[in-house]
A and B are shown apart, each in its own frame.
Chain A
């Protein structure tokens, strides 16, 4: 069948899968181990159900979140895709079924403009020679390709057009399903003949049938189709903070193990030295074996110190992340009214990365610019014409002319070059005349539109010919060959036979590529080059249009080689084709230059300036050069003394010497902005990877089109869902509608998110570690016997309440170690002040536990109060509720009545001790806070 299942869970597999996924996290596994250990009575110090509660809750929260993601996003889109209609041949008649019903071996009928549901072997089509056109924009950059059925099947089916014949093909041998989009090898065994098949005969899933009435195809790969094979799994992106946090967790685990080991050794020594002699204790040495006792104690301590492992941090991490993501989506100032599109955090776990971005790598077209292209100027035969045909985007056939000189010339038929120029524009493209919607490439749309306005109307296209009306005269050009555009070639050509019989090659492409292929002494070349400069300065996108008259003999030779190449193996053929194309696209005569305006989006220069002020290095990666440079100037990316790197030159060097990457990066460290010109999509990803490899900063890439997808997948990816939408957004972590929203996303949401999370992390570490370490100090005074501190658990509950939506101060992960040190200090205070007070008194163990936990709660509360600089009603409520909750819990576990008896006054002592302890513990941070206040005041004075 052809069912797409991008969802992960089914009712049966959900539990095992989610458990498997979650236990890949070290902390979860650790906690499971803890729980198992708690079940061993000999070592358990806390009942096992106390550990299982946080574990179960984190597992279920995470699991439910995954499940809802799965249900909502994936299943819905899957079912949408799976239930698209298609015609399947069932018992000699076509019936409309759903995509998911397609099986290997089914014969399908595809209508014009339908999306192809599976990889099909083309049997025949409505067009002559069973040709058909497919639009492959979803797969690669080239827009239109044609496919042709085997002549055997074509002949059979055209001579005998019946459903019966369609079902008569028996055996197709195919290669194993794979992800190579451009190759296919197989055989059709039919009527005793073996017919070889290649990618020419295959219609890929996801492509769209164009310009062809209908086509019949035999499904050969369904769920294994090449495009599905190709859609790699999204890499799970981990934030820097998470990496730091993981390191801290590992550090804590090691410390816990070490501390437990030391304490266990201490216990062993204690067992032999002290307990043996104490009658009351000697029998408690398990099996009279000090080593064994120490061994058991080791595990007990691991359990007891496990609160230092902040497992609950994961839950709260998720919670904070989710809330921050919601805030991003809720932000009205990132809402684009025209498109009714709010911002969207598609990946909820990368928020704090937004506050740490060091490098912003941006695509140019469609990202910095609007991607609404207007044909502005052109230069034909050295004369520059200003055109404002598209002043009104809805003008279609309107007769506004702002270049009367040009119209004059065209009308009077004075200048053959300008006629040819427009013929080239009308012929050399892949636009389909029937398309009602936008053309796949807005460039071509603008060019063809301009030609239409001036009288060269592209009427229709078929396999073999293109019909154009030239100033009212309809002419039919025989299409001999179409030399595709690729981002590597950066040009495309058509080879046509004119109605008069001559063969012409019309070529259009990037200036640099065309200029190096011109014939010698091309007329007007210098003036054209000046025009190019001019256009580029005006931030216009330029394309060169050229022509070549091809002698019949050359064409025949060339065509022969071309048809020979069709039988060759794919990779050899690609090389050969490239050579062939090169051979044909030479000795060109330059006709003219087009200049298309792509306006900058609103607020782009301001945004870039702001981001640079924020210390973000902005890189723009683009395919062209001069225009890019000028855009760079106009959007304040470059200032007059910037240097421009041409990637093509560097690429060769980098390939040879990878170590140069580091040198290059250290050079760019000093640059506020870098403009990479002449970069292909693949190189874009390469650059992003290089930047990532050589810096520790967070890199963010932003793009809008399918060619940016590789780049976006790299680190933090932002997709612009402007006019085009689709591909980029699908693969992005964040979706915005306008480039300028980046300001808010980075500078406001990112910064907040980062501040909140890092402060939260530090605070959490401080709290958990200081609590856990108290056990260690206590170990020294209770014979290293893994003491249980009941009320610490009570107080551990509260920080969750502290953290919902708070606004925190700046901090960096480096400060984590400082806060750990602070935790050590606090834990020393927590233990030794009560120790001093309780030493040699009648106060008992439980009282001491209450005192310590009370002090710890006070400390945590004071810390949070110090950290909060921005008090909303939620913060105040959270702090108050948590403190109140602590006292309620203490009241329940340590009844008030305790304090009534013997000696009556002990209540005071506990309070005084707790207060003193808490104040001493927070004294360093309070002092730091106060000094900070004083010093910042000083700054303000300045």
Chain B
């Protein structure tokens, strides 16, 4: 195509016009007259540079296969790891015959039962587990006073309303720590013995560092009183207690005497207390009780016969709950969790399956004549 421009003419026109003073003024004026003219920018004209990904079957189907394979890979890893984790679970609720500790529930003194433990790989964790126990019930979950648990003395004498009906006892004495969670703290205690050549040898358990770092260092605090007892009975606390504080109703000992062996592990920063206060997500849960001491058993728990001595205090049979103890070692993925591995495998294979379906669909459409 040829475009003939009247170059000479237009040039002359232009120069002529530019020579005329008023003419050029008019031009300028005309420009200014269009005050309502919209701006010509990429944004206002919706012409922003954009990237439109053009996907094709050549990307989508292999993409699906890859994602599927990745999921299967993760699933296999999880599954294998989970399989390698040793778990030993013993129900000790004691309301059924044939279970270990069959008569535990009836005798609330010390009970014990024995079991075998195979050689463990790596450190062993010792959990207690409860089932049918609704720690996630909302009113239960809010039934505590965070200020009190932060060690603010003011809230010792006037606990938050959230704690009701475990804020005051019937004599209007404030309860510390108040609330339903604290009140229902798990109070069975365990001692683990290894039977070596007929003699019972106590396995030392490590109760340090089983609670969350934030709970131990930030959220929960003891009052600064020294000894701690003063904060609870009013002396040296700077407060005048009209009524003496009392322990939670279900508690047999005060908060400042939770661990008699270690004075620093008392009050609100007691590790067992902290573990209990961190609520479980679901009604069947386990909580870390102790670790098998790494100092004495650096390679994990050796194989052998063990017996567990239980101080049976916690009543669960009324709500048909179950209590159990769990020994487990852990891996990079935490405790034993076959669900996750299986779920990964299922979803991964679904992706692969889907990609096969897509391939068939694609082939059908791309080569319809060959059908």
Contact = CB atoms under 8 A, between A and B. Distances in A.
Interface of A: 41, 45, 274-275, 277-281, 283-284, 300, 326-327, 329-332, 335, 337, 340-342, 752, 781-783, 785-788, 807, 833, 835-849, 869-874, 895, 897-898, 900-903, 905-906, 908-909, 912-913, 916, 919-920, 923, 927, 930-931, 933-935, 937-938, 941
16 contacts: A275-B134, A300-B138, A331-B44, A340-B34, A781-B136, A785-B140, A833-B343, A842-B286, A845-B141, A848-B281, A869-B52, A870-B51, A873-B49, A909-B333, A919-B347, A934-B361
A279 B50 contact: no
A281 B180 contact: yes
B52 A284 contact: no
A805 to B, nearest CB: 9
Given A342-B38, A901-B211, A933-B56, A845 B350 contact: no
Contacts of A906: 334
B134 A938 contact: no
Nearest to B362: A934
Contact of A279 (B35, B78, B217, B250): B250
B155 interface: no
A913 B38 CA distance: 51
Interface in B207-222: 209-214, 217-218
B184 interface: yes
Contacts of B211: 901-902
A56 B264 CA distance: 49
Interface string B111-122: 000000000000
Contact of B315 (A279, A900, A920): A279
A927 B34 contact: no
B55 interface: yes
Nearest to B166: A283
Interface stretch (B20-28, B91-99, B125-133, B300-308): B125-133
Given A326-B44, A906-B334, 5 more contacts: A281-B140, A331-B46, A898-B214, A908-B333, A933-B57
Contact of A844 (B46, B51, B278, B343): B278
Contact of A277 (B57, B320, B339): B320
B44 A327 contact: yes
Contacts of A275: 134, 137
B88 interface: no
Nearest to A919: B347
Contacts of A898: 212-214
Contacts of A331: 38, 44-46
Contacts of B154: none
Most chain B beta carbons < 10 A, residue from A331, A807, A872? A872
B228 interface: no
Contacts of B344: 912, 916
A788 B351 CA distance: 34
Interface in B43-65: 44-46, 48-53, 55-57, 60-61, 63-64
B330 A835 contact: no
A803 to B, nearest CB: 16
A937 B361 CA distance: 12
A902 B140 CA distance: 24
Given A279-B184, A279-B250, A938-B366, A284 B137 contact: yes
B34 A897 contact: no
Contacts of B35: 340
Contact of B343 (A337, A916, A935): A916
B45 A840 contact: no
A841 B337 contact: yes
Contacts of B273: none
A847 B214 CA distance: 13
Contacts of A872: 48-51
A927 B137 contact: no
Contacts of B288: 842, 902-903
Contacts of B135: 845
Given A341-B36, A840-B284, A278 B166 contact: no
Nearest first, the 8 closest Cβ-Cβ pairs linking A and B are: A280-B184, A330-B44, A785-B138, A938-B365, A848-B281, A782-B136, A277-B319, A278-B319
Contacts of B152: none
Contacts of A895: 214, 218
Given A898-B214, A905-B330, A840 B285 contact: yes
Contacts of B45: 330-332
Nearest to B364: A938
B139 interface: yes
B33 interface: yes
B161 interface: yes
Interface in B339-371: 339-340, 343-344, 347, 350-351, 354, 358, 361-362, 365-366
A165 to B, nearest CB: 51
Most chain B beta carbons < 10 A, residue from A284, A841, A908? A841
A78 B293 CA distance: 86
A905 B63 CA distance: 30
Contacts of A923: 347, 350-351, 354
B51 A871 contact: yes
A122 to B, nearest CB: 41
Contacts of B53: 869, 871
Contacts of A913: 340
Given A340-B33, A781-B282, A332 B71 contact: no
B137 A340 contact: no
Most chain B beta carbons < 10 A, residue from A274, A835, A898? A274
A897 B209 CA distance: 13
A275 B281 CA distance: 17
B332 interface: yes
A912 B78 contact: yes
Contacts of A870: 50-52
A474 B145 CA distance: 106
A277 B321 CA distance: 10
B8 interface: no
A462 B131 CA distance: 104
Contacts of A342: 36-38
A278 B134 contact: yes
Nearest to A901: B213
Contacts of A277: 318-320
A156 to B, nearest CB: 53
Nearest to B317: A277
B136 A845 contact: yes
A41 B180 CA distance: 17
Contacts of B280: 844-845
A838 B281 contact: yes
B263 interface: no
B254 interface: no
Nearest to A895: B214
Contacts of A283: 165-166, 180
Nearest to B42: A872
B87 to A, nearest CB: 11
Most chain B beta carbons < 10 A, residue from A782, A848, A870? A782
A837 B333 CA distance: 11
A198 B192 CA distance: 112
Nearest to A927: B354
A151 B370 CA distance: 100
Nearest to A333: B45
Interface string B271-284: 00000001111111
A217 B35 CA distance: 41
A934 B358 contact: yes
Given A280-B184, A331-B45, A905-B330, A340 B36 contact: yes
B100 interface: no
B74 interface: yes
Contacts of B129: 840
A14 to B, nearest CB: 31
Contact of A842 (B48, B74, B285, B339): B285
B60 A933 contact: yes
A871 B214 contact: no
B287 interface: yes
B29 interface: no
Nearest to A908: B333
